[in-house]
Structure 1
């Protein structure tokens, strides 16, 4: 599945102009939700976007090969898009990444949604479907990056048709999936030209949901087959979007089956969050391997804020800042710690299919809800004991972030 990515920015601008023309046809009201929100009867229209600017300092210590240091300033991402509704039943979102990790332009969320009632949603488009931190916006997660848990599972945005139901404290969703909208189409040949296909589902339940205490539990599963596309690769980056991956299987997966568990406990300004997943991978020549991955993190809002769990969506929302600088306060301060683990040692055909372990410390200052200044330090070990190719990586990174 592919689209000419050079047209992404132009398409987003075109949608904006069409929306502006539509809302001018009748009287409109304007409110503020990080950016102007135009409302005309049941029609709404809003421009959305985000910018993350990073500095990364990395020290790489190799057991074999040359050690090195790197210091870079980089644009992690810059996105522009629109979202809105036609009435209470129909909604849309279209967002393009104008630049992401080196100037690559691509589609992000591209969604058409139909809601026959408040408890049922049917969505089609390019979006994420499984894993708690994965489907939660990067604007709201605790650390600068989601970590190797997402990287190794390859649970990013793909084309989906999803049916999702929810109640006051639960959600249940099932989806049929294809490939990412940004990937090249498989070439049609005498042996076939089919893209990746999969089926996945996710359920969440919040047994405790008070103003100060929340418990989120969830589980998901996914089955997928590469069809005529390249083999799946399972790999882990060092809790950053920058640099190489030193633990990787190479392209070995023909199909895989995954299950995952997720949990979040919030008690006032304190929270503990974790996820675990197991994957069974079918390879060529009737071989198979499996791997596990997990992380555990904890955070504390020194200034008393409470993380925002959107119970009806089963994901994180925007934190309410108690004393933002826009109202004369000092903003909010959050401190956090995280441990990550990815174990690929069963894939003994690849020299670098080892184990990844890392600790990350984080601090985030929120002047107000739409701006964050973040600092993360990660000490990671990439253990490839089979070939004596261990790599230790220390990464210090800073981010200035805003969204609208």
Structure 2
């Protein structure tokens, strides 16, 4: 909806994601599960207000819990001929290609182990101030945030995060992508940092997780990530990796992870990796499903790995993934992904080295 002068707009945002997942081949029978899950039901709105202001708010119903995702107000202007946006509130981290992209636009059903590992303790969202300066083939961002929206019973941690990317050699056929990001966080006094429980292959199987280890007397952490990839014709390739150093009273611990991913549109679409923002968007389907079209078909693959073994209770894990994404229209998607995974946990219920396979089918609509 738009006011007659265009100064005020209101756009509803809706996302419905449903998964059917089957895990097999594990040495633990309780890991070999077949599950159905409403992966996410997200409702919200975004729009503009006169004077260069905009807003975005949305809530998510997933895993039998309700949470707030993006909830911020922003001011946009020009600075040196470039687009400058300053926002206040809670919004998704600008943390790499996969980590900075909304879940419904990432080519995979779950973000990589690299995204889960190389990030602040508070997770993907934080409340604070963010800024982003954008050119035609580059952007730079800086944010200072506390924890995500919470009850306010304890002090927040503080995280300073920055990212930049550059897309040189841009032509109609594609572009190269170069990027890097980093963060420093100051953790509030705490007895310990609980073991991270990282999703491996499918969020629907809670018994299939990689445990990151427990850290006593944490003080803070810092992380660094690098991005290298690009688009050529209907294909794309991306490598992301980094290291997080968790600082404790005893000593510092390294956490390493990386991912290599690729994809190709069999139906001729151009991969929607933005040269301007350095993140994924929804593909523009050339022939939407209907009388004269059948949608877009994309083949994707990824290898990702995470290593927490610098601490005695930290695990290691990796996975190989192959999948097909069918986009009947710009706003709908049906995916079938298979992954072969390996997990070696040193804490938790499922100890030791284990491997198996997970197949997942997803149906999604989002606008």
In the superposition, the TM-score normalised over structure 2's length comes to: 0.90
Match of 1:238 among 187, 200, 203: 200
In the alignment, what sits opposite 2:159? Answer: 198
Deviation for aligned residue 1:374: 0.4
| Counterpart contact for 1:169–1:312, Cα < 8 Å | yes
Distance 1:66-1:44 versus aligned 2 partners, 3 A rule: closer
Query: Where does residue 152 of structure 2 map in the other structure?
Result: 185
Q: Is 1:71 the counterpart of 2:28 in the alignment? A: no
Distance 1:60 1:152, change over 3 A: farther
Q: Is the 8 A contact 1:60 1:391 kept in 2?
A: no
> What residue is the counterpart of 1:14 in the other structure?
none
For the 8 Å contact 1:186–1:195, the answer to whether it is kept is no
Structure 2 equivalent of residue 264 of structure 1: 229
Q: Unaligned 5+ residue runs, structure 1?
A: 1-36, 188-193
Q: How many residue pairs get matched? A: 353
What RMSD in Å do the two structures reach over aligned CA positions? 2.1
The structure richer in helix per residue is: 1
User: CA offsets, 1:118-143, max 9 Å, x none?
Assistant: 52111111112322211112222111
Task: State the distance in 2 between where 1:385 and 1:156 align.
Answer: 25
- Report SS of the residue matched to 2:9: strand
1:58 to 23, 27, 46: 23
Aligned match of 2:277 = 313
SS of 1:55's partner is: strand
Give the 3 Å change call, closer, same or farther, for CA 131–330 of structure 1 in structure 2. Answer: same
Alignment check: 8 A CA contact 1:196 1:226 kept: yes
Q: For each residue in 1:68-105, what CA deviation from the matched residue of structure 2 results, as whole angstroms up to 9, or x when unmatched?
A: 421111100001101100136111101111x21x2211
SS in 2 for 1:38: coil
Q: Which runs of 5+ in 2 are unaligned?
A: none
Instruction: State yes or no: 1:219 paired with 2:190.
Output: no
Name 1:8's counterpart in structure 2: none
Of 328, 351, 355, the match for 2:316: 355
1:215-267 superposed Cα distances (whole Å, 9 cap, x missing partner): 11110010112214562644432122122324321355431110001123111
Alpha-carbon distance in 2 for matches of 1:212, 1:391: 43
In structure 2, the CA distance between the partners of 1:132 and 1:160, relative to structure 1 (3 Å rule), is farther
Cα distance in 1 for partners of 2:336, 2:256 equals 28
Change (3 A) 1:274 1:172: same
Aligned to 2:288: 324
User: Residue deviations 1:256-299, cap 9 Å, x none?
Assistant: 1100011231111111012101111112x332110210000110
Please report the TM-score for the alignment, with normalisation by the length of structure 1. Answer: 0.82
* SS of equivalent residue, structure 1 residue 254: strand
Point out the structure with max Rg over C-alpha. 1
**Secondary structure at the counterpart of residue 324 of structure 1:** coil
Quote the residue 1:153 is aligned against.
118
